[in-house]
Amino acid sequence: MTSTAFSDLEIAHLLADAARKAILPHFRSSDLSAENKLSEGFDPVTIADRAAETAMRAVLSNHRPNDAIWGEEFGQTTGTSGRVWVLDPIDGTRGFISGTPTWGVLIALSDANGPFLGIVDQPYTGERFVGSPDVAEMTGPLGWSPLQTRATSDLAQAILFTTFPEVGTAKERACFERVSAQVKLTRYGMDCYAYALLAAGQVDLVIEAGLNAYDIQGPIAVIQAAGGIVTNWQGGPAHQGGQVLAAANAQIHAAALELLKDA
């Protein structure tokens, strides 16, 4: 049976705490090495990725044994509750092995309708962004603050993020560049930290393609709790990954969607 000693939100915090403890000893370590998961291209995984997911799975085994788990490193474990914990132990491993603090731990709790609770955690900076139907908050070196997305409605005033300059296919990149050409500022390479900044009211848009479910479910819950919108490039659900448009509000979302929907 599922333990009622802890709420789902408390369990999510326990997961983030366990991941922090497993990851931080390896960050910026002189002997850190990475394996490549691809025969062509580069998709790194480290001991920290695997240790963090193992630690989180142990928490769930103890406290939510009936829930399913979908993790990047160890795949899917079935459950009987109709709920699934979606885990990305280090989103942004390329950044992690480069020493940048833009990677993060992604945690989501989802049901048939998608994610309804999420955490984006940055262990090195000590920032944690949390979203659920009842909570939209962050904690960090400056203390606690609520999460609230921006009210920017004009693309000409918007700040846009994406991780990779190539975005996706040639057609997807062309659609992205239509948006990029109209915004005030485009920045690259932030991984999941871009979604956290959107929820915190620092940026207006994040546009990406080729994502997996574990890349986006945690950020979806956090951004939605903060007042934002996350869809695919046609305006439909994005929680299974693929093309993702995250926006601070309905107006800026509609403006960007108009330029992306042909991809």
Residue 47 main-chain phi, psi, to 5 deg: -60, -30
Q: Mean pLDDT across the chain, nearest whole number?
A: 95
Task: Tell whether residue 262 is among the known ligand binding residues.
Answer: no
Position 38 scores a pLDDT of: 65
Position 197 scores a pLDDT of: 98
pLDDT surpasses 90 at 1: no
Task: Tell whether residue 88 is among the known ligand binding residues.
Answer: yes
Closest by alpha carbon to 262, among 155, 171, 137? 171
For 78-132, what is each residue's pLDDT tens digit?
999 999 999 999 999 999 999 999 999 999 999 999 999 999 999 999 999 999 9
CA distances (Å), 72 to each of 47, 155, 161, 216, in order? 13, 34, 23, 12
pLDDT surpasses 60 at 248: yes
One fold for 8-146 and 155-260: no
pLDDT band at 3 (very low <50, low <70, confident <90, very high): low
| Domain 8-146 coded CATH 1.10.260.40 | no
Task: Tell whether residue 107 is among the known ligand binding residues.
Answer: no
Task: Tell whether residue 90 is among the known ligand binding residues.
Answer: yes
Structure tokens at 41: 């291209």
Task: Tell whether residue 204 is among the known ligand binding residues.
Answer: no
Task: Read off the pLDDT of each residue in 231-245 and give the average, rounded to a whole number.
Answer: 97
User: Domain boundaries in the chain?
Assistant: 8-146, 155-260
Q: Which CATH architecture has domain 155-260?
A: 3-Layer(aba) Sandwich (3.40)
